[in-house]
Structure 1
């Protein structure tokens, strides 16, 4: 064994890290079985085994093809020794199996335990010694926990590029015994809100370890409460927020004027074109600036100019001159963001309208890493923005004020923008809103009265702003009524769904998405696509709220006594109607996404677009995970009411299995659609990563059942 490892280590010392495993340098068993490159940096374990928490093994016999040239028996075969840098107690498969402790919704009356088949719910606990994927072989073809062989190498390489380096438990060591601290941990923690991309009612199904954690590599989910309202935190390594930290670093010495440094980064002739791109792409959807008061690269405040230059970087390809001049030497978005932050920090003691505009643009700036949602920095910036707006009196209605008409209209527009940013950021990050409807007077815009809205030749931007304003009002109702008082969710949801249908049916024809490739739409981008996705995201939030009561422990649908049988049947019928409605909604939005063309992609620049896409796969994952439980529940109800069901009609258990198959097929279809579009639309990559990580780890390891 020492000779084998010494030969591999010596080769690494001379040649450096290998990206390709030649036949002379044998791959470990796990990499060979998954047909992936066995990448050993210095010594075993390789990147794949390190990510899976196990050691490299070289025990499987290598079957080589016969060659014309003779070779020695030693090269032919035999079993290679196993690399064991540290001795671990051996555990049998049964010792690694345990009950999913976090899934307390499985609690049932004692007389139903036999029919519940607890053995079907047993699974590996994540974080145990060795994450074997051999259990995939026992799954039904078509419902494998891992991706197909054709995509295996791509997924492995993609995941390892994200989860390389030390695992999160290595960072978490030494934080104490007993209950692990959350507030004094070296890791960054963010609460998983009810409306964010990580639904707590989905996360409650994960198989947590003895520390109440589900560990990935640089991320982990920490469960702190598993009651009627589950609470989890997302833990991450500090280096994941390095970009945000670099943006907010303040200068160490006095510097009276930052404009020359900004002018050196962005020359005036380039600045003029970037401002033009802002009015072409960003301002039509989120009218922060007015045409009458366009910023000037030589006289406008530094923080406003730097924010504009930074957010317009992705759109330079649509400018004939910038697409060539900045192709290889574009301004650093990180440097521009840092300049904007430092200059804005100087204005906090005395905020102005320009300061507020700069803060709004910085709020709209998506993260540089498409695989990250948002850092806590964005939520802190939103609080600062709301505070500045309140200081400037934007929460009041200035209609009757003795101010110039254009200034009154500008104040109304900016007041609504702060209101809208608060609602959509609260939706995206899963946080309570900063602003209450009772405290803010301008919560809707009227295109007929506000002439400061940007003009457009086809008027689509003005209609977009009006319809987005109405949709934001509905979103506010969802956040306030469905995610505050859970008991009233079912009775409140129906009028909200009706308002959403009325809003969608009343959209002007100019905002409709033409799904036929007629070649007439040449304007880039088509902003209506982002408006339609926002509508579906709000609708999915409603269904997530409706599904909450049916995913609680000790639901009426698990009651089998005669007194409660009628109520249980009604409860089960209502649950199936809601689940069918949720599945129909996801099918509708997948059909919409699959019809997207190139002119639709550039409309998705707002940071909450990531969450909107992630809600689609998240809802499908929730339906798939809970349909397995619904199968058992339906079978129990059937056995208690009718011991001998008719063979002419399918049993509830069969219906549950059909629903599970339908949900899994929809989930696979969603992954395929997202993979196709994510190549051109970065906003989809986070949603794809979220669901691909589940399949990469293993369906049964995450949920505890196959």
Structure 2
């Protein structure tokens, strides 16, 4: 432990703080108010009362310049939505960003909790995502013991709770960065001893300096909702990390390659436990973070949580679709898996269609721009691998609609421009696809089922409309008929996809029957 004032760059910190104050003056208090109203409830990695106490006492020397600059930079995203600020000249974001980056780099030489806090806040900006900075923060977090259980440490209770929130925020940063960058995670469960966040942690947090700025009822409600949102995002991240560890490690990829034509069955078997966890997670979601919980005039920040759920589902189904082959996969298995993937894609796109201004203008967690992109690229994958022209045309139409929705929504959430650009890039890559055969020239019926020469059709007692297959309240019913440019193609119907998948796995494993011999049981 060393005193800050004995370090070589201590004077630079004081100068940085003065520069930050000049840049945002006289709007510093208003920007901090925006930060704690919009960002903090959903991303509570700062102890609000301790921080504000230091600000009021003029103890800015105890606040890291990079942390304060990061808070201002995030708050500036809502500058135009604040009636008291929009009429004034916006502070120089470029200068503020330069100071924050330089100060953070210097702080990494003698890191504290504020170093990790500052880095995490700077990484929440849509334009500032960095895999290298994420890995540095993980290393610093380990140096500070954030991966350890601090329950019995001789520090104030509020600091233990704060350490846990910072630790889990760092965990999520590592795991979601691993997904969106396609890089190996640096945090492993065997060396992660942090206890889950509890109601007691939130209670202790609210009890610190209770006489400083009492919140009104709306602020208390938003903080409670934020704690639930943060906790559920942590739980979902754990499931997403399991998807990555199960299907996207080099070991898993090698196992699937060795399995050859049996790789799809292997993937489906490994997917079942994860699918169960996802369903249970969604079922346990409290009403306060449901998408329909929207009050006019108040931001609804739950959008990024539901988007992350769809991104996790798509990441799982992407691996299943990638294992399929129109030439070598068994026809009925091909149909079942592609039907399930189609259901997930339509549900995700319809979720985006239902986003309201209250959702779009709220805080969106850093991987959101990539998660929106994942929906589009998954549609591109289904388009590229479609066995027939009519199905390919269906995906072309849905992708065009999805791009239009994103471009319109970007007026309220500028980071969606990135997803639009990635969709355009993906569409350009798909232009050279070989023309698909029509349904008449293929062995696929008008509802996507292999014909009688290739698979046994289901009996009437075992049918169930795909409109009935949903993953929860946020998954809307499917439309039976979708009009295309010159054709009308029925949405896949006839079976409960999840039930058929489970039956296929169980029957082929226990009885050794081929998919052609299986008639799915109905699922009530």
TM-score, normalised relative to structure 1: 0.53
1:660 Cα deviation (Å)?
2.2
Q: Secondary structure at the match of 1:434?
A: coil
Does the 8 A contact of 2:304 with 2:368 survive in 1? yes
Give CA-to-partner distance per residue, 1:268-316, whole Å, 9 cap, x none. Answer: x421221121111111111111222225555122111111111111112
The residue aligned with 1:135 is none
Residue 352 of structure 1, aligned match among 97, 112, 115: 112
The residue aligned with 1:287 is 44
Residue 595 of structure 1, aligned match among 354, 360, 365: 354
Does the 8 A contact of 1:524 with 1:602 survive in 2? no
Residue 32 of structure 2, aligned match among 275, 286, 305: 275
Q: Does 1:433 align with 2:197?
A: no
Distance 1:335 1:443, change over 3 A: farther
1:577 Cα deviation (Å)?
1.2
The residue aligned with 1:240 is none
Q: Secondary structure at the match of 2:166?
A: helix
- Unaligned stretches of 5+ in structure 2? 1-8, 207-218, 257-265, 437-524
The residue aligned with 1:266 is 24
Alpha-carbon distance in structure 2 between the residues aligned to 1:386 and 1:698 = 36
Give CA-to-partner distance per residue, 1:41-89, whole Å, 9 cap, x none. Answer: xxxxxxxxxxxxxxxxxxxxxxxxxxxxxxxxxxxxxxxxxxxxxxxxx
Alpha-carbon distance in structure 2 between the residues aligned to 1:262 and 1:330 = 14
Does the 8 A contact of 1:291 with 1:452 survive in 2? no
Q: Kindly report which structure 2 residues correspond to 1:121-520, keeping only aligned pairs within 5 A, or say none.
A: 257-267=15-25, 269-295=26-52, 296=54, 298=58, 299=60, 300-325=63-88, 329-367=89-127, 374=129, 378-442=130-194, 444-451=196-203, 456-457=220-221, 459-484=224-249, 485-486=252-253, 487=256, 488-514=266-292
- Unaligned stretches of 5+ in structure 1? 1-250, 369-373, 552-556, 560-567, 631-655
Alpha-carbon distance in structure 1 between the residues aligned to 2:431 and 2:107 = 53
Q: Secondary structure at the match of 1:257?
A: helix
The residue aligned with 2:307 is 533
1:658 Cα deviation (Å)?
3.3
1:542 Cα deviation (Å)?
0.5
Does the 8 A contact of 1:367 with 1:607 survive in 2? no
Q: Kindly report which structure 2 residues correspond to 1:96-115, keeping only aligned pairs within 5 A, or say none.
A: none
Distance 1:273 1:661, change over 3 A: same
The residue aligned with 1:576 is 335
Does the 8 A contact of 1:289 with 1:357 survive in 2? yes
1:255 Cα deviation (Å)?
8.3
Q: Secondary structure at the match of 1:431?
A: coil
Q: Secondary structure at the match of 1:346?
A: helix
Q: Which moved more, 1:614-623 or 1:482-491?
A: 482-491
1:435 Cα deviation (Å)?
0.9
The residue aligned with 1:521 is 295
Count of equivalent residues = 395
1:678 Cα deviation (Å)?
2.5
The structure having more radius of gyration, on CA atoms, is: 1
Does the 8 A contact of 2:141 with 2:167 survive in 1? yes
TM-score, normalised relative to structure 2: 0.70
Bigger share in helix: 2
Give CA-to-partner distance per residue, 1:156-203, whole Å, 9 cap, x none. Answer: xxxxxxxxxxxxxxxxxxxxxxxxxxxxxxxxxxxxxxxxxxxxxxxx
The residue aligned with 1:680 is 412
The residue aligned with 2:422 is 690
Q: Secondary structure at the match of 2:385?
A: helix
The residue aligned with 1:542 is 316
Q: Does 1:700 align with 2:424?
A: no
Query: Aligned-pair RMSD on alpha carbons?
Result: 2.5
Q: Secondary structure at the match of 2:345?
A: helix
Q: Secondary structure at the match of 2:323?
A: helix
